[in-house]
Structure 1
Amino acid sequence: MSMETMMETTQFLTFTLAEEVFAVDVARVREILEITSITKVPQVPDFMRGVINLRGCVVPVIDLRLKFGLEETAQTVNTCIIVVEVDMGGENIVLGALADSVQEVIEMEPSQIEAAPHIGTHLKTEFLKGMGKHNERFVMILDIDKVFSGAELAAVSG
């Protein structure tokens, strides 16, 4: 979704990674789980922590901190798994994304969202739909479909 298509108020789930606030479109979130045992899988990318059993389905769990070049997510009482749907060539893939904590669901209008800056962040900006401002703090709005390349998703879903 480009900035031009974000013409109406959108709800976002906010969460933290390394004390920074990120957001993902609520429409892409299936559920939020407490941290559970994650089964390690051999020979997968470093950012893939393993898989969980979600009501009989195998769901890959991704450490967004590692994906973004940060330190591995530490397990705390607030650590959770955000189960999201990611589009891979027209097919929806269900993934679990580790987050330090989930904050809240917020609404943002297009006027509150600016294009992602091209410099000044430790994150590659192609992952970002934009930067929003909520309660005097910047929120990095992720384009969850662009966080992972097709090859990475194929490796994870395979």
Structure 2
Amino acid sequence: MNELMVMIQIANRRCALHAHDVQSVIELGAITPVPQTPSFIAGITAMRSQALTVIDSRLALGLSSADWATDTRAAVVSVGGYSYALMIDAIEDITTATGEPTQVTGGFGPEWSRVATGMIETSSGPALLIDLPALVAGPEDARGDIPDAA
């Protein structure tokens, strides 16, 4: 396969994002809360005069964000033409996938089953391959909280 992957950690789990989906890695500056948004949306921040929606990845999974790591960096991704800054526990490295994704075997829980497209082997070890649109959509119980754009 030899595809580049960005290795990250969310809730102490090793995860992988396709490198072509990650626009950049930024230091998170000030995050401005946005009223009437679901709790997994931390707010907005700016990157080179562009507004980014900041997603708390733990809350987007439906987990607690109480035990955040000290990494203040975020992965900037684009989903559906919109840019997002993903708050994650850590950004580890860029590495190469050594095979195709395989089915995720049980034991990770429904939160991970919703956002993981498979388990992928990389040159630095196995990781859950993350489906960015599913992660950015947030937990199913929060989706009805998003106000209409009209």
1:145 maps to 2:133: yes
TM-score by length of 2: 0.81
1:57 maps to 2:46: no
1:101 maps to 2:90: yes
Report the residue type matching 2:91 in the other structure.
V
1:115 maps to 2:103: yes
Once residues 31 and 60 of structure 2 are traced to their aligned partners in structure 1, the CA distance between those partners, rounded to angstroms, is 17
Question: Matched residues, percent identical?
Answer: 22
1:3 paired residue number: none
Once residues 30 and 79 of structure 2 are traced to their aligned partners in structure 1, the CA distance between those partners, rounded to angstroms, is 23
Once residues 21 and 142 of structure 1 are traced to their aligned partners in structure 2, the CA distance between those partners, rounded to angstroms, is 10
1:32 to 25, 37, 40: 25
Paired residue secondary structure (2:75): strand
Report the residue type matching 1:102 in the other structure.
I
Could you say what the CA RMSD is over the residues aligned between the two structures, in angstroms? 2.6
Once residues 75 and 35 of structure 1 are traced to their aligned partners in structure 2, the CA distance between those partners, rounded to angstroms, is 14
Mind listing any 5+ residue stretches in structure 2 that lack a counterpart? none
Matched-pair contact (CA < 8 Å) for 1:73–1:99? no
Paired residue secondary structure (1:96): strand
Query: What are the equivalent positions in structure 2 for 1:64-143 lying under 5 Å apart?
Result: 64-72=57-65, 77-87=70-80, 92-111=81-100, 113-117=101-105, 119-122=106-109, 123-134=111-122, 137-143=125-131
Q: Give the ranges of 4+ consecutive aligned residues of structure 1 lying more than 3 Å apart after TM superposition.
A: 73-77, 133-138, 148-152
Query: What are the equivalent positions in structure 2 for 1:11-22 lying under 5 Å apart?
Result: 11-22=4-15
CA displacement at 1:74 relative to structure 2: 5.6
1:43 paired residue number: 36
Once residues 147 and 115 of structure 1 are traced to their aligned partners in structure 2, the CA distance between those partners, rounded to angstroms, is 18
Report the residue type matching 1:143 in the other structure.
D
CA displacement at 1:77 relative to structure 2: 4.2
Once residues 73 and 66 of structure 2 are traced to their aligned partners in structure 1, the CA distance between those partners, rounded to angstroms, is 10
Q: Give the count of matched residue pairs.
A: 143
